[in-house]
Structure 1
Amino acid sequence: MAAKSPAKSRTAYVCSECGADHTKWQGQCAECGAWNSLSEFVVEPAAAAGKGGVAASRRSSWAGKSDAPAVTALKDVRHSEDARIGTGIGEFDRVLGGGLVHGAVVLVGGDPGIGKSTLLLQAVVKMAPSLPGLYVTGEESLAQVAGRGSRLGLPLDGVHALAETCVERILEHAAAMRPGLIVADSVQTLWTQELSAAPGSVSQVRESAARLVRFAKETGTSVFLVGHVTKEGGIAGPRVLEHMVDAVLYFEGESGSRFRVLRAFKNRFGAVNELGVFAMGDKGLREVPNPSAIFLSGSREPQPGSCVMVTREGTRPLLVEVQALVDASPLSNPRRVAVGMEGNRLAMLLAVLHRHGGIGVGDQDVFVNVVGGIRVQETAADLPVLLAVLSSLRDRPLAEQTIAFGEVGLSGEIRPVPNGEDRLKEAATHGFKRAIVPKANAPKSGRVGEMQVVGVERLAQALEAATD
């Protein structure tokens, strides 16, 4: 009987946006519709892919036992609350949902030079006494990593590092060392011996990340993956990479500013859209415990076109200044420019202001900016935006120490927003004396501490209260 021929590798084309496989190259992905997103890579047969690595050692250690999972009643599954490990950086813990979970895989993305490696090196050093870590660098030498640690004044005792890009060798060292935390900087430099594609390609990034995820789940080792970003701002590589990990964090910062914002876009163990604020200094990243202070204007005198609102990022209320500039337009089609909020919503709010507030800006250019580089995505910014526009149009500042928040409906009603009580308490803590808010969010007493709260139901009432 002739021997069975081994399975051969085949060539496939994978979409970098959705991860769909195609048998031949085509300009548009048939699954998600993205153009020019298909990349060629070699698909190894299942038997070859299973050789070596953690999976093979697991099978060899369980010789004679079946690897097939058993069907179990969900009510009989033992579970416990996820134990959190503090990173020693309060703002980092906040974004992670209270700390790092054993076996969690976290993807950290951001622009070059924003501070991703600095933050993770600081975290590894602070966690070293309780959670031994392995810092794997694929872009720098060990001397460069040690030099950065010395410049930052970090105690490097007990911190281990490895300059390697081959996933198989990384996992061999990790299996022997058994660290509690692995940092892979970056995932785009990793490659596996079982694929012939170049490092950084779609197939290498996906397979390398999959092996690290599998290792983390089997051993309980927490893993941080550093990801490069594209010119559009997304993490480079296949979009399926974000689905494989437990949390996706983005590091953001304005050009020339020393402040950095760490935002969670996905978190299986905590709240999404959580926000952490850091300041970059000579000794690395320093957490900012009171971010509201940096988002408010440094000027103490009220200015026309400015209104302070209380937004909510994850579980934290933040005071943010909204600025508006209204000026006569030399164009036949006046401009509507919104920075930090959606442009279409600004156009809608201006239409509501004209219809239900009796104030038209059809012949005016309107520019709206959220100070501090914050992007407000909730509807609580509606009322502050309109009050700032009114203030700029009339060249009259709002009353000193006044805040506002509330959603504005198309019929001119002021709708309540979630967590109104927390927002008012945050404003009172910072010394504000007056608040214009939806009536449903206003306390019955009309006051929160020393702050007077004015509850309004219609846009006309809000505009009248702002001009008193």
Structure 2
Amino acid sequence: MVGKCPSCGEWNTYVEEIVRKEPSNRRAMGGLETPKAKPLSLSEIEPGEEERIDMHDEELNRVLGGGLVPGSLVLIGGEPGIGKSTLVLQTVLRMPERKILYISGEESARQLKLRADRLGQISNDCLIVCETSLEQIYVHIKNTNPDLVIIDSIQTISTESLESSPGSVAQVRECSAAILRFAKETHTPVLLIGHINKEGSIAGPKVLEHIVDTVLQFEGDQHYMYRILRSIKNRFGSTAELGIYEMRQDGLRQVSNPSELLLNQDHEGMSGVAIASAIEGVRPFLIETQALVSSAVYGNPQRSATGFDIRRMNMLLAVLEKRVGFKLAQKDVFLNIAGG
């Protein structure tokens, strides 16, 4: 605190003023000039449906709600090696009419070239760059002006404004928020690929799932070749749709008829087999259930279920024993859902 002015010698003439630095869009967006938004009333906003970008993948279009919305931020998560990068790469290579910028923070350009050769698809409109700096990514975006941006993965991207290491909570939060501003202000869709932790949820802060418009989970079983793409959050569509793929040597094949993997063909004349119809979204599924009940060989009866919650199976067995009168206390019960 200063009581006396050193220049004029008067007392109590100093007035405190807070100097705030004006935010610069050029610095925050890495050199990209973005228009400033102004408030609009509801009557001034033009109504209409969101334009959709065809991804040339019926399963992916269905899960997204009809296609990719311009200016949207989509997060695709899954276990390591499940096929996230393969799914995204083979999808963008089928879009020759649009310029794609694929930013890889984990793999080299030669590795992506080998994967594209294995998929049997080459596109000159898909540009590959290996970069982990957010500021340099904006420079590449400004120079190429792409129609779609892919970032693989968000945990490898870092900004120079923070001193923490890539993948930390602060870096993931700041980078995803900056990418969201870019997507909304430039109307450019962005696909983010994210890792998951040991619990199976998206790695990083929970705010990452709140920031993005759509969260897609790509999952599967190591004992099966089929993969499921489900929507956990979708601001532009339903979360009840499922996309099913088959992992092959030349990429992922779309499974348009899911009943082909949920039904076995050699069950005629066999007992313990039941087929039921279930609906996920707008598509029906024929599901085959296989059950076996036998006398317990050892003292404790076994309860085994594949593809079904074993706790729910125990509850159903208790209901059957109490209400129907089946004596299942000393029986081994095995339950299997065909297809896993």
Instruction: Tell me the TM-score range normalised by the shorter chain.
Output: 0.7 to 0.9
Residue 54 of structure 2 is matched in structure 1 by 86
Alignment of 1:172 onto 2:139: yes
Q: Is the CA contact (8 Å cut-off) linking 1:95 and 1:276 kept in structure 2? A: yes
CA distance in 2, matches of 1:317, 1:311: 6
Residues 168-247 of structure 1: matches in 2 within 5 Å?
168-247=135-214
Alpha-carbon offset, residue 333 of structure 1: 5.8
Structure 2 unpaired stretches of 5+:
1-13
The one of the two structures with greater contact order (alpha-carbon pairs below 8 A, sep at least 6) is: 2
Aligned-pair CA distance for 1:144: 1.3
Contact 1:152 1:283 in 2 (8 A): yes
Following superposition, the deviation at residue 172 of structure 1 comes to 2.2
1:153 aligns with 2:137: no
Aligned twin of 2:76: 108
Larger % of helix: which? Answer: 1
Change beyond 3 A, Cα 1:362–1:224: same
- Report the number of matched residues: 327
Instruction: Please give the residue correspondences for 1:42-441 in structure 2 after superposition, counting only pairs within 5 Å.
Output: 52-54=27-29, 58=33, 69-70=38-39, 72-129=40-97, 131-329=98-296, 334-373=301-340
* C-alpha contact (below 8 Å) 1:53/1:171 kept by paired residues: no
Which residue number corresponds to residue 6 of structure 2? none
Matches within 5 A, 1:6-25: none
The one-letter amino acid of 1:340's match is G
Change (3 A) 1:81 1:328: same
Aligned-partner Cα distance in 2 for 1:55–1:143: 27
The 3 A distance-change label for structure 1 pair 296 and 287 is same
Aligned equivalents of 2:154, 2:224: Cα separation in 1: 27
Cα pair distance change 1:329/1:135, threshold 3 Å: same
Q: Structure 2-normalised TM-score?
A: 0.87
- CA distance in 1 between partners of 2:155 and 2:265 (Å): 41
Deviation at 1:329, TM superposition (A): 3.5
Compute the displacement of 1:256 (Å): 4.0
Return the alpha-carbon distance in structure 2 between the equivalents of residues 361 and 171 of structure 1. Answer: 65
Q: Helix, strand or coil: the match of 2:129?
A: strand
Task: Classify the secondary structure of the residue corresponding to 2:313.
Answer: helix
- Give, in angstroms, the shift of residue 267 of structure 1: 1.3
Native 8 Å contact 1:105 1:216 kept in 2: yes
2-structure distance, mates of 1:182, 1:160: 10
Give the Cα separation in 1 of the matches to 2:113 and 2:296.
56
CA contact (8 A) 1:180 1:220 kept: no
Residues 158 and 175 in structure 2, CA contact (< 8 A), matched pair in contact too:
yes
SS of the residue 1:156 aligns to: coil
Output the CA distance in 2 between the equivalents of 1:49 and 1:363. Answer: 74
CA offset at residue 170 of structure 1?
0.7
Helix, strand or coil: the match of 1:85?
Answer: coil
SS of structure 1 residue aligned to 2:29: helix
Q: Which moved more, 1:282-291 or 1:321-330?
A: 321-330
Sequence identity, in percent? Answer: 44
Listed one character per residue, the Cα deviations across residues 281-319 of structure 1 (whole Å, up to 9, x for unaligned) are 232111112111111113142433221111222221111
Deviation at 1:328, TM superposition (A): 3.0
Once structures 1 and 2 are overlaid, which stretch shifts more, 219-228 or 311-320? 311-320
Tell me what 1:43 maps to: none
AA matched with 2:95: M
Deviation at 1:332? Answer: 6.1
User: Residue 148 of structure 2 aligns to which amino acid in structure 1?
Assistant: L
TM-score (norm 1): 0.64
SS in 2 for 1:100: coil
Which SS does the other structure have where 1:188 is aligned?
helix
CA displacement 1:148-195 (0-9 Å, x = unmatched) = 112221122221111101112112221332211111001111111111
Distance 2:89 2:32 in 1: 31
8 Å Cα contact 1:132/1:159 also seen in 2: yes
| Residue identity matched to 2:323 | H
Give the SS at the match of 2:113: helix
- In angstroms, what is the RMSD of aligned CA positions? 2.7
Structure 1 325/75 Cα, relative in aligned 2: closer, same or farther at 3 Å? farther
Distance 1:197 1:329 in 2: 58
